[in-house]
Structure 1
């Protein structure tokens, strides 16, 4: 197990290096930069000083070497080009803490409700509970999140006036964004759990257990649920990293100053350092989550650990 984890950590570091280099060089291959627009009306000498301050007057490979040195030795992504003096690392840490609140609640709520609905749909296949669950799943997948967000705002903020339309800082500001973001998670897990449960319930060892007189409740509790839920753990990797990076659409609609909102803003501003830092942060979270999921797999299923 230790050898397996060490190997995965090495692969993770190599992957992160490739992602960092690809992101850095791709961003610098795009014509223009934020300073060319911001300093267009300044004297030539002042513009040169700006470029020298941020190291943009050096060759790209030298800029990359400096960036990697600062990242490895100081854990720093540098400063924002669009907002001088603002640390990229501090911005990511502060805004990801905002994104994780509604995102984390949405994931927990969606996971619990989705698994319960998936179990109900599998046990009541081709009956009215199954049809209701699948209808909810279709709605959660097909209806765009901005439509759900607007609908919730109209009903609960405009008509009922029980929740604020936008804002941040109060517990009431979290409810609608979390519920809206949970719809996709509910739909995904309801479908996956139902499909996996039906597949497991048709296996020979399940039929053998039932033939031996084991009650249906114990068969489902001891055998079906554990094996059916195992493939669903794979989905958690991307979703766990997603709660830190936030949802731009939801954060924009509800006025949440999360990382997703600032990420899109940095793209519009062509803020190289912010884009690169946020991309590396998101990629690192995703890869780390995948490592944790793989370890969880081996702990939940001894057959995987043996292989």
Structure 2
């Protein structure tokens, strides 16, 4: 187990190195730079000072080495577009906002989705199954911005019972949480139903029934536990999606989260902010995958770590 953990950690650092390198050169391949329009009206000496401050006057490989040195020393640099704002400080300021809204939506969506998936599997080809699959299809096909617009129009404009945007008050979280959780409900309902139907046909389930074990115990002790493997896999990526995939919702509801600022940084070619946030996303995703590997072995005893 220790050898396996060390190997995975080694792969983690190798992956982070590759992601950081690719992101650096991709950002530098975009025509222009973030200071081009900002410094257009400034004197030449002032322009030169700005370029020197952010290292943009140095050769590309030198900039790359300085960037990697900053990562090793946990220095993500300073925003170019917004001088005085550190990248780490912006991540620390905006990520809790995304986590509070997206995390709430993820938990609610996961619980409801798993429950609906179990119902659909146990009531296959009956009306509960049809209703759950109809909800799943809606959640998978309706774009987020369409659902958000409908919710804002109906609850904020027509009924006036909820605010259309904003962040900081409990009632301002209701609409974005509903919008974000709808996709999770659809995803988990479909995966849990499919996984449960497959598990119900396994030999050990048939053996348990032949021994006279009650259906409730079979479902709770054997079927549901082993059916959660796909849900665990999805949950790990969904946690990252809380920070990366909610920028449309954050924009429409005026939520100052990290996803919104990430997209803004890309549009502004804010090199340090984009690269720092990308590394943050990569670390979060890789760590979650590592945790999932260990959770697999807890949930399903059949899974064992084997050497290559």
8 A Cα contact 1:103 1:246, kept in partner: no
Describe how 1:89-104 pairs up with structure 2 within 5 A.
89-104=88-103
- Report the TM-score, using the length of structure 2 for normalisation: 0.97
Cα shift readout 1:100-140 (whole Å, capped 9, x = no counterpart): 01100111000000000000000000000000000000000
Deviation at 1:71, TM superposition (A): 2.0
The equivalent of 1:240 in structure 2 is 239
Q: Which residue pairs with 2:212 in the alignment?
A: 213
Q: What TM-score, normalized by structure 1, do the two folds share?
A: 0.97
Match of 1:29 in 2: 29
Cα RMSD for the two superposed structures: 1.1
Q: Write the distance in 2 (CA, Å) between the matches of 1:299 and 1:61.
A: 45
Alignment deviations for residues 76-121 of structure 1 (CA, whole Å, 9 cap, x no partner): 2111111111111100111011100110011100000000000000
| Matched residue, 1:196 | 195
Measure the CA separation in 2 of the matches of 1:109 and 1:287: 24
Alpha-carbon distance in structure 2 between the residues aligned to 1:306 and 1:57: 50
Is 1:78 aligned to 2:77, yes or no?
yes
> Helix, strand or coil for the counterpart of 1:38?
coil
> 1:241-280, aligned counterparts within 5 Å?
241-245=240-244, 247-280=246-279
Maintained 8 Å contact 1:97/1:244: no
Q: How does 1:1-307 map to 2 (within 5 A)?
A: 1-73=1-73, 75-245=74-244, 247-305=246-304, 307=306
Q: What SS does the aligned partner of 1:240 have?
A: helix
Aligned counterparts of 1:139 and 1:84: Cα–Cα separation in 2: 44
Q: How far did 1:246 drift?
A: 5.2
Asked if structure 1 preserves the Cα contact closer than 8 Å seen for 2:4 and 2:305, the reply is: no
How far is 1:306 from its partner? Answer: 5.0
Instruction: Structure 1: give runs of 5+ residues left out of the alignment.
Output: none
Question: What SS does the corresponding residue of 1:164 show, helix, strand or coil?
Answer: coil
Q: Note the alpha carbon deviations across 1:142-165, whole angstroms, 9 max, x for none.
A: 001111111111121122222111
- Count of aligned pairs between the two proteins: 306
Q: Displaced runs of 4+ in structure 1, greater than 6 A?
A: none
